[in-house]
Amino acid sequence: MVQDLNGHYKLLLGLSEPWKIETVDLSIDSSEVTITVAYPKSVTVVCPGCGMATSIYDYRKNRSWRHLDTMQFKTIITCATPRSNCDTCGIKTISVPWANKGSGFTLLFEYFAISVITHTSSITAATKLLNLNWHQIQSIMARAVVRGLEKRDGTDTIEYIGIDEKSFLKKHTYISNLYDLDKGRILDVVEGRKKEHAQALLNTIEPDVRGWVKAVAKVSKAWAIKEAFGQFWTYLYPKSIEFKPIYAILNTINV
């Protein structure tokens, strides 16, 4: 029965050999499920520095990661992570397959949390639904941004871009956003809404990608943005860039 339960959770977590589920503990009083994951001492590990197979030096103290809830029970993964004994790189803690380095949450939980954040009206609402504090939410969002940036290879074709300004906080504090309208994603964000801020946004587009741009969507009163776009493109690419209001482009492409 215990082996069946451990095997069940191993499948749910997507763990492969040599990782194994050591114990699954249920606490009714605290409404928690604690899953202990282990890595056998006799099996080699991959050095996170050079990628070579090496023996295990020792294990770190148990760490915990919050995972997706099991039914209504908060689920925690614990593991004493192995440290590699590499002749070249020395002693290093290996990565675990269920979480990013430095995170106290599994990747699946972080993906779920980002979905909750994007579908709630505020960070406060998300903290209540996820039972997290403000700092935990901020760290999850920061890691999501890093993961998104790492996926970019700089070779995507961008044909329709949008630029817009947003106010936040008080005393007319603004940010400017650069969008890829075809794929419905934010490319970059800078603080401010002046010409130099639009220029900074445009400079984030890789030179090889700039020539693909067919049209720019902008807010109608953003004259500084229009000026920056015009000078930028005339200087780099002596061709006509068509300026259209955002609604005109949104009616013709899929965002």
Distances (CA, A) of 157 to 33, 38, 214: 46, 44, 11
Which range, of 61-65, 82-86, 120-124, averages the lowest pLDDT?
Answer: 120-124
Q: Which residues pair with 7 in a beta bridge?
A: none
Query: What integer pLDDT is reported at residue 89 of this predicted model?
Result: 94
CB 59 within 8 A of CB 85: no
For domain 160-250, say whether CATH 3.10.150 is its number: no
Query: What integer pLDDT is reported at residue 103 of this predicted model?
Result: 94
CA 147 to chain centre: 4
Query: What integer pLDDT is reported at residue 171 of this predicted model?
Result: 65
Instruction: Indicate left, alpha or beta for 64 from its phi (over 0: left) and psi (-120 to 50: alpha).
Output: beta
Q: For residues 230 and 249, give the distance between their C-alpha atoms in angstroms, rounded to a whole number.
A: 18
Domain coordinates in residue numbering, the chain? 1-98, 101-151, 160-250
The pTM of this model reads 0.73
For the segment 110-124, what is each residue's pLDDT rounded down to a tens digit? 999 999 998 998 899
Compute φ and ψ for 191, nearest 5 degrees.
-85, 130
Q: For residues 160 and 234, give the distance between their C-alpha atoms in angstroms, rounded to a whole number.
A: 17
CB atoms within 10 A of CB 250: 15
CB 66 within 8 A of CB 103: no
For the segment 126-162, what is each residue's pLDDT rounded down to a tens digit? 999 999 999 999 999 999 988 887 777 666 778 888 8
Q: What percent of the chain has pLDDT over 70?
A: 82
Give me the residue label for tokens 């075809």: 182
Q: Which long-range contacts (CB under 8 A, 24 or more apart) does 136-143 make?
A: 136/104, 136/105, 137/113, 139/103, 140/105, 140/110, 140/113, 140/114, 141/114, 141/117, 143/100, 143/103, 143/110
pLDDT band, very low/low/confident/very high, at 105 (cuts 50, 70, 90): very high
Q: For residues 123 and 232, give the distance between their C-alpha atoms in angstroms, rounded to a whole number.
A: 37
Report the amino acid identity of residue 82. Answer: P
